Chains A and B, each alone.
Chain A
Amino acid sequence: MSEREQILGRIREALRVAAPKPGLLSGPGQRVPAHEKRPTDFRPWLPAVGDSFDERAALFAKNSAELKTDFQLVANRNELQEKLLALAHAEGWKKIATHAGELTNYAFAVLGLAVVQTGGRYNLDELESSDAGITECDALVAQTGSVVVTTRSAGGRALSVLPPHHVVLARRDQLLRDLPAAFTALKQRYGSGYPSMMCLITGPSRTGDIERILVLGAHGPKKLTIFCM
């Protein structure tokens, strides 16, 4: 018998005796009665989010400020160009890394810098030494201030995590309400074939491992900038 069959066999044997359902015992923290059916809608319990775009944008901005993400709403391409150039100038970018996409193509055209494209196979050292990684995304999540990226929407696995500054270019309609909405969007878009990696990025890389003091840029990007157009 294979190891798989043995383990599954032990599981089935063990499960012949039923375990009590949670929420039936009395004790500390047992203040909520059990649900009739296993819950599938968590919205009534998760942190609240307003319905309108303005409320979502305001919450995203508030979460970003807390997470030390630089979140900027931009009105049009001209403003995006202005802000990108200002950022490139302020940080002295010499080389950027990006992938093919409507917004990213525009960005790298206006920046006019040396570029590493991660669409196909690329040189890892080149990517590692880039000053910024510019990507698109699948969604922004107001509830948590997160960016959803996948290997398909953001030029592979490494582009959004290896360069020291991650710049996200998003559209207004990508700003979703909450985590349930984000997972629904992923399912709708990729349900028939998921990318090999999807990630919910919430703020620049961080650690609190030394005396529980927050330090940004532990292994991933030290800065995260999001332009929402």
Chain B
Amino acid sequence: MNTVAQTFKETARRMTRDLRHRSWIQSALGKYYVGRDEKKARFQNWQEARQAAAEIKWDAVNHLDKHLEEFVSKIEARGTKVFWASTGQQACDYIVNVAKKHRVRSIVKSKAMTGEEIHLAQALEKSGVEVVETDLGEYIVQLREEAPYHIVFPAMHLTRHEISDLFNKKLGSAPTDSPEELTMIARRTLRKKYCAADMGISGANFAVAETGMISLTTNEGNGRLSTSLPRIHVALIGIEKVLPTLDDLALFLPMLATAGAAQAVSCYNTFIAGPRQEGEPDGPNEFHVVLLDNGRTRLLADAEQRDTLHCIRCGACLNVCPIYKNIGGHTYGTTYMGPIGSVLTPHLRGLAEWKHLSFASSLCGACSEACPVKIDLHHHLLQNRRNAIRCKSPWWEKLIFKGFVILMNYPLLYRLGVKFGWLGQKFHGLVKGTRLDPMIAWTQSREAPPLALKTFKDYWRGRKS
């Protein structure tokens, strides 16, 4: 077993037994479930809306070349500089160079999962620029030098006391247990950063081909400020973010907010169509759009799992996943966690090293049910399992299945096995719980039920006569 998988297993084992973790994750998500169901009920037909959203995304992703070219030609016509990046490294290099060229000293960043994916902040910091995350949750985990815990709620795992201690230590603020005061401390600190920053970095939730705009969703207003005040704005966007028309947003914005944050729509949905235009009083002089591939075309080539690119990063599948709720967001060790992360990561970082994520699933299908764009997540996990076995299955598993095939092909052998299985189980007690126990995965936390002395077949025959 490789080390990534080993770390995953060990952390997962620890986290599932952590009762404190379990209790707060339940309470945080409990509020979400109530709100989400209430907002869903306001739709006249949520299931039809999901189907429509899935079909629009299908259209967008399956004609990606056409939509991307339209988006780029429209947004370039308004003075935007577009850079195409095949790899994360190319995207980082480009943005670092833009920062160098304009002598940028400080950057305000609004939350972008693409940025996490390519470790953009680290690359910029290495080149000597200050990068400040402005989303409150993201700012908190940045101060803790930690990865986000959730793709929508990065600091979900921290209590107000932990955050108060952190602010006290890093910002020198007086301790408080009021979330409101803590938010105001961050507001005051970050205000200064916005006003002084030379560059703002954002992601995008959607890129509208028809009008050449990016759509950026935030609740805090940090997306607005990061893209209004600094003189340069860079948006880092995955190539799959394209939507064909502006009208499509009328469907996607409320669905994103409902599924992602139990809101009717998020507080600020901002559509940016270029740098400051003639006659406008403010806004950046330069606007750069970086289109990121970084493994996405590889996923596109897999027709079976292409719908994974429909993902709008709402986080709904994390919130309902029994695995996520038990092991928490950090255990995955990936940029994208939860069911969508388990499907995506093997494609972005290699199946051999990340196949264990496909097995960390109960296949209950809650994720597929929750997905607002109907990604068939739990089937994709199964397909990843199949692909992992295809590329390399362990010898002992091959041996077991060979034995199984023989057993199943000869009724006499099978009957013997069923009849005397209980006898074999008697000897199990000798090795139970030790390294020699073939059932260790089961017996370390549970009792194996005893095999019945009388088989079902015998019982049925006896009952009839």
Binding site for B on A (CB under 8 A): 2-4, 6-8, 10-15, 17-23, 25, 27-35, 38-40, 42, 44-48, 63, 99, 118-122, 124-125, 128, 144-146, 151-152, 155-158, 161-162, 178-180, 182-184, 186-187, 193-213, 215, 217-221
Is B451 at the interface (CB under 8 A from chain A)? no
State which of A157, A212, A218 has its C-beta within 8 Å of the C-beta of B228.
A157
What distance in Å separates the Cβ of A225 from its nearest Cβ neighbour in chain B?
A: 15
Beta-carbon nearest neighbor of A17 in chain B: B303
What distance in Å separates the Cβ of A194 from its nearest Cβ neighbour in chain B?
A: 5
State which of A47, A99, A205 has its C-beta within 8 Å of the C-beta of B44.
A47
Beta-carbon nearest neighbor of A63 in chain B: B264
Q: Main SS of chain A's interface residues?
A: loop
Let me know if A196 and B68 touch, CB within 8 A.
no
State which of B56, B136, B280, B281 has its C-beta within 8 Å of the C-beta of A207.
B136
Let me know if B221 and A27 touch, CB within 8 A.
no
Is B13 at the interface (CB under 8 A from chain A)? no
A211 and B271 contact, Cβ closer than 8 Å, known pairs A3-B85, A11-B65: no
Contacts of B184 in A (CB 8 A): 217
Within 8 A of A (CB), among B429-452: none
A46 and B49 contact, Cβ closer than 8 Å, known pairs A8-B65, A29-B368: yes
Closest 7 interchain pairs by CB?
A220-B221, A218-B220, A22-B54, A157-B228, A209-B137, A14-B301, A179-B250
State which of B65, B163, B228, B268 has its C-beta within 8 Å of the C-beta of A200.
B268
Beta-carbon nearest neighbor of B156 in chain A: A212
Q: Which one of A20, A47, A211 has the highest number of Cβ atoms from chain B below 10 Å of its Cβ? A: A211
Within 8 A of A (CB), among B32-84: 32, 42-52, 54-59, 61-65, 68-69, 78, 83-84
Let me know if A46 and B44 touch, CB within 8 A.
yes
A45 and B264 contact, Cβ closer than 8 Å, known pairs A40-B247, A196-B273: no
Is B88 at the interface (CB under 8 A from chain A)? no
Is B297 at the interface (CB under 8 A from chain A)? yes
Let me know if B182 and A210 touch, CB within 8 A.
yes
Contacts of A197 in B (CB 8 A): 227-228, 270-273, 283
Contacts of B297 in A (CB 8 A): 7, 10-11, 14
Interface residues on B, range: 35 or more
Binding site for A on B (CB under 8 A): 28, 31-32, 42-52, 54-59, 61-65, 68-69, 78, 83-86, 90, 134-137, 140, 153-156, 158-160, 163, 179-180, 182-184, 186-187, 190-191, 194-195, 211, 213, 219-222, 224-225, 227-229, 239, 245-247, 249-251, 253-254, 261, 264-277, 280-283, 287, 291, 293, 297, 300-301, 303-304, 306-307, 310, 365-366, 368-369, 371, 374, 376, 378-379
Contacts of B47 in A (CB 8 A): 29, 31-32
A197 to B61, CA, bound (A): 26
Beta-carbon nearest neighbor of B210 in chain A: A187
A195 to B212, CA, bound (A): 12
Q: Main SS of chain B's interface residues?
A: helix
A119 to B279, CA, bound (A): 9
A205 and B219 contact, Cβ closer than 8 Å, known pairs A45-B49, A118-B282, A217-B187: yes
Let me know if A42 and B50 touch, CB within 8 A.
no
Let me know if A195 and B268 touch, CB within 8 A.
no
State which of B42, B280, B303 has its C-beta within 8 Å of the C-beta of A195.
B280
What distance in Å separates the Cβ of A136 from its nearest Cβ neighbour in chain B?
A: 14
Contacts of B254 in A (CB 8 A): 46-47, 144, 179
A44 to B280, CA, bound (A): 38
Let me know if B84 and A45 touch, CB within 8 A.
no
Beta-carbon nearest neighbor of B365 in chain A: A28
State which of B86, B195, B267, B272 has its C-beta within 8 Å of the C-beta of A3.
B86
